[in-house]
Every structure is written in C-alpha cells, then in structure tokens.
Amino acid sequence: MDKTIVISVFVVAGIAIMYSFWMSLSDTRVTVKQVSVQETYDYIIVGGGTAGSVIGSRLSEDINVTVLILEAGNHHETYPDIKDPSKAMFLQHSAVDWNYMSAEDSSFNGLRGHTHFITSGRVLGGSSAINYNIYVRGSPFHFDEWVTTYGGDGWGYKDMLPYFKKCESMEIERFKNSDYHGVNGPIAVSELPVPEVVYNVFLTAAKQLGYDEVDYNGQSQSGFGPIQYSIRNGQRSSASSEYLNINLIDQRQNVDISVNSVVTKIDIIDKVARGVYFIKNNKKQYVKIKREIIVSAGALKSPQVLMLSGIGPQKHLKELNIPVVVDVPVGLKLNNHVAVAVHVKCDISVLHNADEEDLISKIGSFLFGASEYGPFVTNGFLHTDPAAIGKEKPDLQMVLTQTIFDTTGLYNYDQSVRDIMRKSYQNETGFTAIIFLTQPKSFGNVKLNTADPFDHPRVHINQLSNDADVKALTKGIRLLEKITLTDSLKELKPDLGINEHSFCSDHVFKSDEYWECFIRYTAFISHHYSTTCRMGPAEDQSSVVDLSLKVKGVDNLRVCDASVFPSVTTGNTYAPVLAVAEKLADMIKNKAT
C-alpha cells in the first residue's frame, strides 16, 4: 500500500452517505416510552437539547411540579450509534442533523455556491448527541468580561465555577482532587490515549514558545494540554443520556418527554406566555402552563420560535405579516468560531516508532470503531500577543493531530478547491494544526425565510466579513510556523509547502497576502453558534433577555441555550451551555420556593 498516514475523508464521505441513508430508516430499533401530553404543566421546555435536558432534569427533581419537554427530533435511544464517539463524523448530514444550509456568504471564496453546511442536532440531546465530545469550559477571563463588558452581574467566573463543577464527573485521576473540578455530576470528563512520544514533542515545542502544560479547564486556560472529552467508558456522555436517561425518567412521574414534536408558536396574551402550539403526528396540539416556558431550542432554532411568536425585530416581523408582541433584537448578533486547517509534512513515523501500516490501523480505527488512539493529540489556547499570556483570554485555539487530517469532506467546498487541497497532501506524512479564532469580530444573523414553522431559518454566517478576523487567523498560522521551527520538531524536518495551492498563486507563498487568500479559500466554520438572544441588563437595548434569562417585555417566558451568551466563549460551547442551564435551573427553583 502507499506509504501514507493520511486519514482520508474522501473515503469516509461515501460511507457517511450510506450511513445517513441507513440512519433515516433506523428510528424504530429501540422502544422508547410514548407519552400522552397532558393539558397543563407547570413548566414547558421547548427543545430537548443540551440546555433543555439539564433544565428538564433539574426542575423535575421537585416532585411537586410537572415538566414537559417538547423535542422536534426523535429520542437519542432510537439511534444506538450516537453512543459511540467514533461515529461523530457520520452523524453530520444524517437524520439527527437539522441539515441547514447558510445564506450565500461571499467572504468564503472556496465554498460551492458560497454556502456553508450548518450542523445542529435534531434529536433528544441536541448537538451534545452529535458533537466531537471535546470538553472546553472557556477562559475565566472571558466569563469575567460577561460582567465588566456586558453588564452580566452574576455571570462571572466565580459565579459559573460552582455550576461547571456541579455538572461534572471528572474521571481524569490527576484532576479529581482539584478545586476546579467536580466528581459527582452527570457529565463524564475523560481523556483518550495518545502516543506519549508524539504528545511530548508537541508539548516541548509549545514550552519553547513560552506556553505551559495546563489543565485548560482549570485555573488558567492559556497553554497546551491533553484533550478532555465528554466520554464515559468509551461512550458519549451527552446531556440527554446523562440528565434524561431512561432509568431516571421511568422513576419520575412528573416529567414527560414528547419527541417528534415541532413547536410552531408560543401563545402570548397581553404579553404573558400562556402555552405552546406544536405539531406531532401531523396533528396540531396545544398545551398550557401554570408557571413558565423555557425556550431551549439552540442558537439557530430559538430565534425562529421567538420570531414566529411575534418576538423579534419589528420591521422583519411586519415584512412577514407576523403580529408584533415585543420589538427586541432577536437573531441579530450571531457569533461563532471560524477555523483553518494547516498541514505540516514531516517524518512523523520517527515519533511513533512503528511501521506506517500499523500506525494507520491504530489511528484509523478511531473513525471506524475500536479506537486505540484518537486522531487528536493536544489542545492549545494561545495569544496572538505574547504579552497577553496570563492577563487576558486566549484568542486562538489550536488542535494538533497526529496525522495529516483531511476534513474537506465535511465542508461544502467547491469540487475544484477540494481536489487541489487533497492532491497536495495525498501521499504525504505529517500532522495538521486546526486553528480556531476564539473571539471573532464578525457577526451574522438569523432571520425567518417565511412564516411557515417548517421552513428552515435563514442563517447569514458572515464569519470573515471583518478583515480583522482574517488577520488574526494569519497570526495563528504564524504561531504554527514558529512551532515548526522549534528545536523539538527539527528531527521531523517539518515543511508547510503542501499548503501552497494554485488558487492563491497570485501571492508569494507564506506571505501575509498568501495566507489571507488561503484562509478565504479553505477556512470553515465550527458549529458553536451563539449570542442570537443575548442576555443583558434591563437598560441594554441590544439584548433580548435579562440577567435571569427572562424575555424582555413578556412574562413567564425565558430562553436558555448558547443564544443567551453575551459573546461566544473561548472554545467549544458544550460545557458552558451545561453550566448556564444548571445556573438557570437553580434560579427557577429558588424563585419557586
């Protein structure tokens, strides 16, 4: 066979298509208790994703209240492969994904039709059931900025830490006694094995640039460390599998989960939320509340539900003949992370001390089951300004892999761009640095396409619309260049030449202009959508919900998911959504007592 350790998603893509078709036929393999929705509940939760699972579980701990969770997708137990972390790649573009497509985005030159695939979980557990299980809280500096910059009193790091600990079951031995981690929560946090010699080479290189080895979910985020995953005993630790597991729900008679239930509108009379309209089994239904409705449908779907209910920008709602209940800026500040993958050719077999065929087996097995090694080696949180280390939040996240990691099949690249990229590293050995911009200055928005609740929302990404973001990613590539020049990597003879592509041939390779062109052609978005219903104090006209996550101008209605973040967190968003939902559940329970 070719001497290569490239994990090719070109092959995976074909398997994913077959898998997606199988998935679409597979939702009757497990019997899940069917519920009859009652006429009235104390609390109705719209969306059984990450936040909805947490809130539904915590509120139903009080046996004196009743809770209904309305989930548009099916139960996670009907898709057994959700449990397997190695199947994450296959879950995108499948029956458990909303399968949105973005509006045209001219900032990205390499995309087919300039449109993005938008992945968002449509299943109980939401995106926590289909993500890559990477567990990142975010920088303590960032949560303190929620207070100092956005007026979010009560949402600083000292306020959030107890909730990070509450949701966490730390399974990494060296962190179990840490003041920054919990051991009794529902969500498992663990590590996957990586070849120690490979990790040490990357870590030594990072240290030579002034970065320490850290627990990036601990006291300080700045530095490199082994990747922490939400995995328990080899299985996905999703919000629904842990907070709403079948055994727990069977024991509680006061919580109902209605799947395949598409919410069409919140019933609001005299600016008071009274109930919810939804469609299940092609039948329109209505259910009333005694206390509150919590919308937790995600940063793309929650704005849609609110706007269909008359809560949103007045001009936009009037264009669609939707009666305006309250004029608030729903959907107007979509924030997300953008990333670029840079490949480094080198003799990585020197590190593995194994023949290449054996190495392919060990690494490739992660994608196809029975993992020995995961594909990722380390997670780094870096600063474009070295003087900011230890003083400010990191503005870059760098994930280093132990192979040349082909991600082109996961994104909507134009075929010619995809072919050019793949050809450049097809039979090469090396590693990949996936560089995320954690604090982008570009914003998009979410609007309605029509007033039909079954139409997808119109999502404008606009992720590279601010040139500052392109320049910041360029600085990230410059940091990678410095890593390749360290003494630690010299033995590998690192070479970035495989990133020299013809679509940027008008620029001198490795110049700022070249890397900026490279970014605009090859960058891709993460799926960390947030800030579309952002929280703020009462006087903040740019916010949708107050600091108790109550929708401004409407009683008995709250929002809780990544949409309420004042700004996108520094890293993957699963962990902060869990903590925000834990905090809201406590706020509601304390108010009710």
Determine the pLDDT at residue 26: 42
Q: Which domains does the chain have, with CATH numbers?
A: 1-12+193-226+338-437+465-522 (3.30.410.40), 25-82+238-334+531-561+578-592 (3.50.50.60)
- In single-letter form, the type of residue at position 249 comes to I
The total number of residues written for the chain in this structure: 593
Check residue 349 and give its pLDDT: 63
Work out the end-to-end distance of the chain between its first and last CA atoms, rounded to an integer number of angstroms. 67
Task: Give the pLDDT of residue 30.
Answer: 47
Judge whether 528 counts as a catalytic residue: yes
User: Nearest Cα to 53, choosing from 273, 189, 248, 191?
Assistant: 248
Q: How far apart are CA 47 and CA 39, in angstroms?
A: 18
Helix axes 512-522 and 467-484, enclosed angle (nearest 10): 110
Q: How many C-beta atoms lie closer than 10 Å to residue 358's C-beta?
A: 11
Q: What DSSP line would sit under 297-315, residue for residue? A: S-TTHHHHHHHHTTEE-HH
What is the Cα 321 distance to its own chain's centre?
33
Beta strands per DSSP E along 373-517: 376-382, 396-401, 430-437, 445-447, 458-460
pLDDT tens, residue by residue, 324-358:
999 999 999 999 999 999 999 988 665 554 444 44
Which residue out of 337, 383, 527, 528 is catalytically annotated? 528
| Per-residue confidence (pLDDT) for residue 33, from 0 to 100 | 66
Widest pairwise Cα distance in the chain: 71
Q: Is 571 left (phi over 0), alpha (psi -120 to 50) or beta?
A: left
pTM of the model: 0.92
CB atoms within 10 A of CB 556: 20
Low-confidence ranges of the chain (pLDDT < 50): 1-30, 353-371
Give the contacts of 499 (CB within 8 A, at least 6 positions apart). Answer: 342, 343, 424, 518
Number of H helices, E strands in the chain: 16, 24
Give the sign of the dihedral formed by CA 153, CA 156, CA 162, CA 166.
Answer: positive
DSSP class of 324:
P
